[in-house]
Structure 1
Amino acid sequence: MARRLRPVGPEFIDTAPLRLVFARVVTAPPEAVFRALAEDVPGWSEWFSAVTLARPAENGAGREVRLRGGIRFRETVLVATAPEAYAYRVDETNAPGVRALAEEWRLTPDGTGTRVRWTFAADGTAPFLLALKLGRTGLGRTFRDAVTSLDRRLAPTNV
């Protein structure tokens, strides 16, 4: 059953009780990475293996996302500043223990490529926060694999 979460703004990315931050450099330019994140929402399921469905909602102001294992999110886009940042918060989810959740993708030029920094900001019950802390390594691996897959997808021979 979906539950409404506490609405948070972009500042939550920096002030959340739990912040997990991961970064990786890819060869694709920031503009291409931003387009994949913010404009090709359905494409997420092709490069982010945990995502089984992603589609825009609310005329692009929101998203609907489904993950492997049956977790569902209804999200609101908080920031879409091309090509630097894309952030969203979760408004509804069926995941237990979550009180507030937001994610930010920060893109910085790095040589001819892009440094991609993903911040996962959360508030929730003690068991939920502990599970996230314990799952940090796995979440980091998922991020690394997703961004590597995205970079392959954005390679000039695939565009």
Structure 2
Amino acid sequence: MARRLRPVGLDFVGTAPVRHVFVREVAAPVAAVYGALEDVPGWAEWFPQVTAARPVDAGAGRDVTLTGGIRFRESIIAADEPGVYAYRVDVTNLPGVRAMAEEWRLSPPAPAPGCGGPSPPTGRLPTGWLAMKVARGGQARAFRDALTALDRRLRA
């Protein structure tokens, strides 16, 4: 049964009672990764747990279905190209969740210590499922696999 969650803003990312943060460096340029995040139907092509995704509310939200039948109705709460892409879950059939948000921060990696010149363009993705009490290892694996597939796709 679908339940409405407490609406939260971007500030919830830093104050959620449960925070999972995942960092992954990819070779694709930041702008390309950001473009893939905005391509809502495309998520199912690179995020293995996403079986369907479609924009709703004239692009202000998304309907997402995961493997196992978990569904989310989400609202985009930040879309600052190319640095931040964030959304909150408004409605879900996932039990035990009262509020949930996810933020993707995209930035080129810092230059290696001792390097004087700029580093080549790459994406660095700290991602997080927030306020979700499920196995962290499974989430980490899901994000690692998704970002590996996305990086492969963007470089092809």
Q: Would you say the 8 A contact 1:55–1:65 is kept in 2?
A: yes
Q: In angstroms, what is the RMSD of aligned CA positions?
A: 0.9
d(CA) in 1 for partners of 2:99 and 2:139?
Answer: 18
Q: 1:114 aligns with which of 104, 119, 123?
A: 123
d(CA) in 1 for partners of 2:143 and 2:30?
Answer: 17
d(CA) in 1 for partners of 2:65 and 2:138?
Answer: 18
- Structure 2: tracts of 5 or more residues without a match: 110-118
In structure 2, what residue type is equivalent to 1:100? A
Task: Give SS of 1:98's match.
Answer: coil
User: Is 1:67 paired with 2:57?
Assistant: no
Deviation at 1:138, TM superposition (A): 1.2
Hey, what does 1:144 align to over in structure 2? 144
d(CA) in 1 for partners of 2:70 and 2:129?
Answer: 16
Deviation at 1:20, TM superposition (A): 0.2
Divergent runs of 4+, >3 A:
none
Q: Would you say the 8 A contact 1:16–1:122 is kept in 2?
A: yes
User: What TM-score, normalized to structure 1?
Assistant: 0.90
When you count strand as a share of all residues, which structure comes out higher?
Answer: 1
In structure 1, what residue type is equivalent to 2:29? P
For the pair shown, the structure with the greater C-alpha radius of gyration is 2
Task: Give SS of 2:7's match.
Answer: coil
- Structure 1: tracts of 5 or more residues without a match: 124-128
d(CA) in 2 for partners of 1:56 and 1:26?
Answer: 25
Q: Would you say the 8 A contact 1:13–1:120 is kept in 2?
A: no
d(CA) in 2 for partners of 1:151 and 1:97?
Answer: 33
Identity of aligned residues (%): 60
In structure 1, what residue type is equivalent to 2:7? P
Post-superposition Cα deviations, 1:77-122, rounded to whole Å, max 9, x if no partner, equal: 0000000010000000011111000000000112321111102111
Hey, what does 2:76 align to over in structure 1? 77
Q: Would you say the 8 A contact 1:26–1:114 is kept in 2?
A: yes
User: What TM-score, normalized to structure 2?
Assistant: 0.91
Hey, what does 1:126 align to over in structure 2? none
